[in-house]
Chains A and B, each alone.
Chain A
Amino acid sequence: MASRDNTIKYTGKPAKVLQREPALVIEWPRSLAHRHTYGKLSPFFKGLTEGKLLATRCVNPECGEDRLWLPPRADCPDCNQPMAWEELPQPAIGTVHTYARVEYTGTGMELATPYFQIDVELPGVCTIFKGYLVYGTPKIGMKVKACFRTEEPTNTILDIYWIPIEDEVDVNC
């Protein structure tokens, strides 16, 4: 006869019932952390925490694209050869290509709303670089300067932000 001494115990937590009509709906909790690598782009994100803006350039003399890439890529999409790192001279001054004022966002947003997201053209860069303006109101064509969160860095893209450079006082942030 089977022993009942070792019956299987329920170790979970009963599902919370959210509604019973017209159908039974329960809560299914999800709490997960992913391991996300910056891979070959690690120098870029490390650079932000040190106040550096790093881009990549294709050094293959036969490749047709000789401008910088920012966001950087480790490999050139045109000739598929590895690219080389290059630090942008400071202050890094760019031009607002376009912008948006974010008022409603999804779960987990780390910037208080409303805030301005800006897309920045940089000299010698073939792409445009998305970021946020930490104060002020952007307009297309406005000059902005890159600043870095070197103290208590987030270790994310939020470690770079932009300020308007209308006034001299802001040039040394």
Chain B
Amino acid sequence: MIVLKEGNLRIPKWSRKVFAVAGGLTNYKKFCPEMKLEEQVMASFRQMLEDNDLKLSPVEVKGLINFLACGNFSDHFQDQLLCEAKVTDYLGLDPMYDIGIKTGGATGGSTVLAAAMAIASGYADVALAVGWERMSEVDTRTGNYYIANAACKDFETRLSRIYAAYYAPMAVRFSWAYNLSEETRAKVAVKNHLYAYYSPYSQQPGKYAIQDILNSPMSTYPLRFLECCAMSDGAACMLLCDEKTAYKLTDKPCELFIAGGSHTLRVADRRDMEIPLLPNETPSMYQGLRKKEGQRWPGFESFAAARFAAYFAYQMAGITNPLEELDLVELHDAFTISDIQTYGDIGLRPYGQEPDYIESGDAYFGGKCPSNLSGGLIGTMHAVGATGIFQGVECLWQIQGNYDRFHGDPKIWKSFGKEKPRDWESLQVPNANQALWVSHAGVGSHVTVGILRKAF
């Protein structure tokens, strides 16, 4: 049994405040032959420098950057070792130091964490968090095999060679333990494909009914293809600063808190342990949780890495009631089931009551704490190294009140060869003050929880 001691539970503390000021994305696509990876990174970097109302010119901003955290998940996909050096050179940031970050699906979140550490420690006043992935380098089945190398090679990979098959057992077990219906899972897919419909960046937009999701082809039972994330080519970047520089660069900075948790790669190795409680939870809440035979926490139902990341991040940010204090969240919906599992880990609902976050309407635009207004990974993108940065940028733009500017401008749609839908709707959350995003790897092996707070 894992027993945590005082030092393990020490709350991370920045030595000085960290702020996010600007972000940039790309048109996420299944296959993007028209641009190489560094060219895609350039597209997101340009959007970040040119379209975020920064008060200094792009060249002046570049002159302030002295550290890059570069996220990319897999050398298999890029088929180019040390592409960080190519990217830094291509962006014209040589000879600033860049560190490559690799934590699977949580790479984007870890990249933001690494850049934030550079600011908080004083290594840099301005740091760039940038991430990318080129998943089209191989065909889809080979891509799925590559990703399955992020399961245990000795004991798991040969048993599936596709990641859906590592989440499907969690879906079966969660449904059995906590009464989750297929319809609730399908609602997550319907919601996120729909929100992607309003985003020019999205790869898998669609207006689906619950039945369309349930009728779509099966990947690994019980998960259908329309419940699975995209495999994308694309990039994203976010600019982080210290307090003084943040206000010099923008009138709309957001304070950043971010922390992470890890857990063994093999879900089946996750022994029962005590649940670390979030500020809004009490021990009595979970007395009856393990009522069925063989139940354990986190087991196949939950993610200890996500719980720990939230445990640290909430205390860093002083959040005591997530559902009340967060205005929106961006969750790592690699699969409908992993999205739902996370509701308990980050305290949007107590463990065992996760489906209610969807069924109550809280998760929808207009609800108490809408999730994945960006379209998420199911609707918009999963260019792995970029994903956790993309999610953070969408949160930043929401708090800055810039959803419409970055999603509703017909020129952006046109520049991607798309037409803005006639029935486009704004998903701008009114007066968004605080947002959270979850970046998640493996079957919960690495998770970061980031929180952005309005500072203007």
User: Is B33 interfacial (CB-CB < 8 Å)?
Assistant: yes
Query: Which of A65, A98, A109 lies at the interface centre, i.e. has the most chain B CB atoms within 10 A of its CB?
Result: A98
Segment of B19-27, B108-116, B263-271 in the binding face: B263-271
A101 touching B159 in the complex, CB below 8 Å, given contacts A38-B154, A129-B268: no
Give complex CA distance A107, B155 in Å.
Answer: 17
Given contacts A106-B142, A106-B145, contact A64 B266 (CB under 8 A): no
Question: Which of A21-29, A50-58, A85-93, A145-153 is near enough to bind chain B?
Answer: A21-29
Q: How far is the CA of A25 from the CA of B271 in the complex (A)?
A: 48
Cβ-closest chain A residue relative to B151: A130
Q: How far is the CB of A89 from chain B (nearest CB, A)?
A: 21
Interface members, chain A 20-43 (any B CB < 8 Å): 22-23, 25, 28, 30, 36, 38, 41
Q: Is B456 in contact with chain A by the CB < 8 A criterion?
A: no
Contacts of A114 in B (CB 8 A): 221
Contact B220–A102 (Cβ < 8 Å): yes
| Chain B 248-278 interface residues, beta-carbon cutoff 8 Å to A | 266-269, 271
B165 touches A119 (CB 8 A): no
A143 within 8 A of B: no
Q: Are B268 and A128 in contact (CB under 8 A)?
A: yes
Complex Cα spacing A102 to B176, Å: 19
Interface flags, B1-43, vs A, CB<8A=1, else 0:
1110000000000000000000000000000011100000000
Contacting pair B169 A105 (CB below 8 A): no
Give the distance in Å from the alpha carbon of A156 to the alpha carbon of B176 in the complex.
31
- Measured between beta carbons, the chain B residues less than 8 angstroms from A158 are 158-159
Within A116-142, the residues touching B (CB, 8 Å) are 117, 119, 121, 126-132, 140-141
- Expressed in whole angstroms, the Cα–Cα distance for A56 and B17 within the complex equals 47
Partner of B293, one of A98, A104, A111, A141: A141
* CB-based contact A100/B220 at 8 Å: yes
Contacts of A99 in B (CB 8 A): 169, 172
Question: CB distance A102 to B160 under 8 Å?
Answer: yes
Please indicate the chain A residues that have their CB under 8 angstroms from the CB of B291 in the complex. none
The verdict on A106 contacting B162 (CB below 8 Å), with A41-B154, A126-B271 known, is: yes
Q: Is the CB of A156 within 8 A of B144?
A: no
B386 within 8 A of A: no
Q: Is the CB of B33 within 8 A of A23?
A: yes
CA distance A100 to B159 in the complex (A): 11
Choice from A38, A98, A106 contacting B172 with Cβ under 8 Å: A98
**Contact mask for chain B residues 61-80; partner A; CB cutoff 8 A; 1 contact, 0 none:** 00000000000000000010
- Let me know if A23 and B34 touch, CB within 8 A: yes
Interface of A, helix, strand, loop or mixed by DSSP: loop
**Interface extent on B, as a size class?**
35 or more
B268 touching A157, Cβ below 8 Å: no
B96 CB–A CB distance under 8 Å: no
A14: CB under 8 A from chain B? no
Chain B residues with CB under 8 A of A64: 1, 3
In the complex with contacts A97-B173, A140-B176, A36-B153 CB distance below 8 A: yes
A158 to B161, CA, bound (A): 13
Q: Report A69 CB to chain B, min CB distance, Å.
A: 8
Expressed in whole angstroms, the Cα–Cα distance for A36 and B172 within the complex equals 33
- B154 — which chain A residues lie within 8 A by C-beta? 38, 41, 71, 157
Q: In whole Å, how far is A123's beta carbon from the nearest beta carbon of chain B?
A: 11
**At the interface, yes or no: A95 with Cβ under 8 Å from chain B?**
yes
Closest Cβ of chain B: how far from A136's Cβ, in Å?
15
Assess the A157–B159 pair: CB atoms within 8 A.
yes
Does A65 contact B148, Cβ atoms closer than 8 Å?
A: no
Give every chain B residue within 8 A of A132 (Cβ-Cβ). Answer: 159
A-chain residues with CB within 8 Å of residue B153 when the two chains form the complex: 36
CA of A87 to CA of B169, assembled, Å:
27
Let me know if B161 and A109 touch, CB within 8 A: yes
Chain A residues with CB under 8 Å of B160's CB are: 102, 105-106, 109, 117
Interface residues of B in 297-329 (CB under 8 A from A): 300
Inter-chain contacts of B165 with A (CB < 8 A): 100, 102, 105, 117
Evaluate contact between B269 and A127: CB separation under 8 angstroms: yes
Q: Which residues of A contact B34 (CB under 8 A)?
A: 22-23
Complex Cα distance A101/B169, Å?
A: 9
**A61 adjacent to chain B (CB < 8 Å):** no
Q: Is the CB of B294 closer than 8 A to any CB of chain A?
A: yes
Considering only residues 69-106 of chain B, those with a C-beta below 8 Å from chain A are 79
Task: Select the residue from B142, B155, B168 with max chain A CB neighbours within 10 A.
Answer: B155
A90 CA to B156 CA, complexed, in Å: 23
Residue from A22, A107, A108, A131 whose CB has the most chain B CB atoms within 10 Å? A107
B266:A100 contact, CB within 8 angstroms: no
Assembled-state Cα–Cα distance A127/B155 (Å): 13
Q: Which residues does chain B contribute within 8 Å of A97, judged by CB atoms? A: 173, 268, 294, 300
Q: Lowest 6 CB-CB distances: which A-B pairs, in order?
A: A106-B145, A100-B168, A106-B144, A101-B221, A128-B268, A106-B161
